Structure 1
Amino acid sequence: MIELGSYIKLQRTKQEMTQGELAHGIVSLSYLSKIENLKTEASPEIIQALCTRLGIQIDNSLESTIQEKCKEWYGMLFEVNDKEEITSKFKEIQSLMDSNLTESLLLFEIHKIRYYLILGEFDKALNKINELNEISGTFDNLHLYYWYKFRGNYNSVIADYNPAMHMYRLAEDKLKRVEINEQEAADLRYAIAVTHSKLRNTLEAIDYAKKALDTFMKHYNFMRCAQCHNILGISYRRIRMYDKAIKNYNLSLHLGKLNNNKQLIQLTNQNLGHLYSKRGEAREAIKYFQEVLNDEEVHLVERVAAVSSLVREYYNVFNYEESKKAIKYGFELLDQFKNIQQYKIFDYVLHTYDYLLKEEFTKFENLVIKEFIPFLEKNKDFANVIVYAELLARHFEKQYKYKDATKYYKVANFAYEQIANI
């Protein structure tokens, strides 16, 4: 059943029309408010008049067509698809939504959150969340499932993982009350696995990744299988089960190559680089990071991440000339970002080693103490807190500043405890 008041309110706000402008000559302002907030049921004549002013038709004959087009578009958002194709389909459906009152409108509006996230338009995604929040009290269980899931996606994208997990849990609770296909449920479990991984809940990440993997394997969805293998690889690496980690990464690489997906291949190479770095095998780590960096088809952010890792590996094996070259190239890549704030960690990494190698020690100390470590602590990135607190402590030891060195070894130890407690 269509909650007509919610739809009218949604269309009115989308058209930036005030209640007074919509109500004028049709109903009183207070009566329109009651209609929009579902406190009264208006007559068909009043609904028709309001819809006419909004430029909306009430034409049930198009309902099945709209539903089919929406279903197709939702599927495009679930898989990795061409953004131009997704946008073209979006515009086609939007034109139908703008001129027809349909039961598909609310679900379409909720899916816009996911759409904007895919396009990287995070402000639009947040605006859509805020807009829909006003009518979220009218959502049924299916609406709520996607509402919670996509809000979780938004929180995850902005690296706010605890609220993301809360939203995913709410969505998971709705799984029992809605009819969705197995792969959609597996996609939620994969998102939960990723979030557990970000929160360093390693055993939970393994559990959810395996559940998602079982479903994706059953449906021969090899791309999603590869993504699950990556999460399993990261998780096994963290608990030092390196053979299992390498096995999962190799499976991910194989599936990525079968699908000729460069992004997935190089994401796996990046993870293999981290694994060998963790094992202290710098040459192997450098080989995998270099693979990512040399592939110009890979997204810019992956290449910046790879060059940041290379800077650190070269520095750790005292190959300062290569480290300097990597820093220079890293800054060139960073210059291509429109908004550096989202990738601030890479900027900090490059400047940290740049100051060290130039022996600009005051700048190095000020940056790491006053900006970088607080930034990492704020984002609960305790693994990197350990790396840069220890780097700072070793630097102070070389300067014979043992009190300062001890202080930052303590910071590193505290970060170790946080990871252990997570």
Structure 2
Amino acid sequence: MRKRKKVIYWPDKLAHLLDNTYIKGLVSHNLGYLYSLQNEHHKAIDYYISSMEYERQRNVNVNYLLNTILCIIIEKYNIGDSKECGTWIDEGLHLLCEHPHDYFREYYYHFHIYRYLIDPPGNDTLATFIEEEALPYFREKDHKDSIIKYAYILAQHFKKLYKYKQANHYYEVSLRTINNNHHLGGIIL
């Protein structure tokens, strides 16, 4: 049996040689993101958690922590680990309560949408929340990536309920946003 060779990333090695906590956290977060793009969720989670540890050592702006927590939530959701996903949602919401600035409002929406996704309340609460609160907020702030993602989630939700007209509407919202913003996903003809 062959031993797997550990991959060494030069930015990671350099950050450790410099013993710079900020760079270590940044590199760990970015490596987590790269693994996420490759659908290597467990590796992504490991790097995100490592990034959290460095961020906490530095007492960074809470926005960095919230962003990393959101990334962990997404990865935990992607691997179907609802229990851990819920734990990280709770941690994120706790941080939001400690720092109730409007600046962090977007995370409120992200965390609650994932809460509904892992623990559906059994009615159209998810759809109502996304339609009436989250999407208007993300439109106002011009967060196109969130509009694409949550419109798509709504479309899938309505499709499962056999509400094809509403599903089609949200597929179109998602697709139109992608088409109008080529850098977010290319051109779909």
TM class by smaller structure? 0.7 to 0.9
Distance 1:419 1:275 in 2: 22
Q: What are the superposed Cα offsets for residues 38-66 of structure 1, whole Å, 9 maximum, x if unpaired?
A: xxxxxxxxxxxxxxxxxxxxxxxxxxxxx
Of 132, 137, 146 in structure 2, the residue corresponding to residue 375 of structure 1 is 137
Give the match's secondary structure for 1:318. Answer: coil
Unaligned runs of 5+ in 2: 1-7, 185-189
Distance 1:271 1:388, change over 3 A: farther
Aligned sequence identity (%): 26
- For CA contacts below 8 A with separation 6 or more, give which structure has more relative contact order: 2
Distance 1:253 1:378, change over 3 A: farther
Asked whether the equivalents of residues 127 and 157 of structure 2 are also in contact (C-alpha less than 8 Å), the reply is: no
Distance 1:362 1:408 in 2: 15
Are 2:26 and 1:267 equivalent residues in the alignment? yes
Matched residue, 2:5: none
Residue identity matched to 1:332: H
Residue 338 of structure 1: CA displacement? 4.4
Residue 352 of structure 1: CA displacement? 0.8
Distance 1:302 1:318 in 2: 24
Of 289, 293, 297 in structure 1, the residue corresponding to residue 57 of structure 2 is 297
Of 277, 280, 301 in structure 1, the residue corresponding to residue 36 of structure 2 is 277
Matched residue, 2:107: 346
299-308 vs 288-297, greater mean Cα deviation:
288-297
Give the match's secondary structure for 1:297. Answer: helix
Residue identity matched to 1:285: A
Asked whether the equivalents of residues 373 and 388 of structure 1 are also in contact (C-alpha less than 8 Å), the reply is: yes
Distance 2:14 2:172 in 1: 43
Matched residue, 2:175: 413
Residue 327 of structure 1: CA displacement? 0.9
Matched residue, 2:147: 385
Residue 343 of structure 1: CA displacement? 1.1
Aligned residues: 174
Matched residue, 1:399: 161
Residue 324 of structure 1: CA displacement? 0.9
Give the match's secondary structure for 2:51. Answer: helix
Q: What are the superposed Cα offsets for residues 290-316 of structure 1, whole Å, 9 maximum, x if unpaired?
A: 212334214232221111111122112
Give the match's secondary structure for 2:180. Answer: helix
Residue 251 of structure 1: CA displacement? 4.2
Asked whether the equivalents of residues 311 and 326 of structure 1 are also in contact (C-alpha less than 8 Å), the reply is: yes
Root mean square deviation, CA, Å? 2.4
Residue 336 of structure 1: CA displacement? 2.0
Give the match's secondary structure for 1:359. Answer: coil
Distance 1:290 1:321, change over 3 A: same
Give TM-score, length-normalised by structure 1.
0.38
Distance 1:419 1:276 in 2: 24
Runs of 4+ with deviation above 4 angstroms: none
Matches within 5 A, 1:2-401: 250-295=9-54, 296-298=56-58, 299=60, 300-339=62-101, 341-360=102-121, 361-401=123-163
Asked whether the equivalents of residues 382 and 418 of structure 1 are also in contact (C-alpha less than 8 Å), the reply is: no
Unaligned runs of 5+ in 1: 1-246
Distance 1:401 1:378 in 2: 27
Distance 2:27 2:94 in 1: 24
Structure number with greater Rg is 1
